[in-house]
Amino acid sequence: MMEWVKRVFGAQNSSSTAKERLRLVLMTDHLALAPEIIENMKRDLVDVISRYVEVDREKVEVNFEREDRALAMLANIPIVSVNRPSPPPAPPTKPPEIKDEPPAVAKAAEAPPVRRRRRRKPPGATPVATPPKPAAANP
Partner 1 sequence: MHVLREDHDDRDESAAASAAPRKLGRAIVITSGKGGVGKTTTTANVGTALARRGARVALIDADVGLRNLDIVLGLESRVKYHVLDVLEEKATLDDALVTDKHSENLVLLAAAQSREKDEVDTEKMVALVRALQERFDYVLIDCPAGIELGFKNAVAGAQEAIVVCTPEVSSVRDVDRVVGLLGNAFKPQLIINRLRPQLVKKGKMLSVEDVNGILHLPLLGVIADEPEIIVTTNKGEPLALRTEGETAHAYHAIAARIAGDDVPAPTVEVKEESFFGKIGSIFGGRRA
Give the shortest CB-8-to-partner 1 separation in angstroms. Answer: 15
Residue 110 contacts partner 1 per CB under 8 A: no
Given candidates 7, 23, 120, 133, which one binds partner 1 under the rule CB under 8 A?
23
Whichever of 25 and 74 has its CB closer to partner 1, that residue is: 25
32-61 binders of partner 1 (CB under 8 A): 33
Give the shortest CB-65-to-partner 1 separation in angstroms. Answer: 18
Q: Which of 50, 48, 52, 54 is nearest to 80 (CA)?
A: 54
Alpha carbon 69 to chain centroid, angstroms = 21
Whichever of 20 and 100 has its CB closer to partner 1, that residue is: 20
Cα separation, 118 vs 116, whole angstroms: 5
Q: Where are the beta strands (DSSP E) in 19-92?
A: 54-55, 61-67, 70-76, 79-81
* One-letter identity of residue 10: G
Residue 21 contacts partner 1 per CB under 8 A: yes
Residue 10 contacts partner 1 per CB under 8 A: yes
**What is the 8-class DSSP label of residue 76?**
E
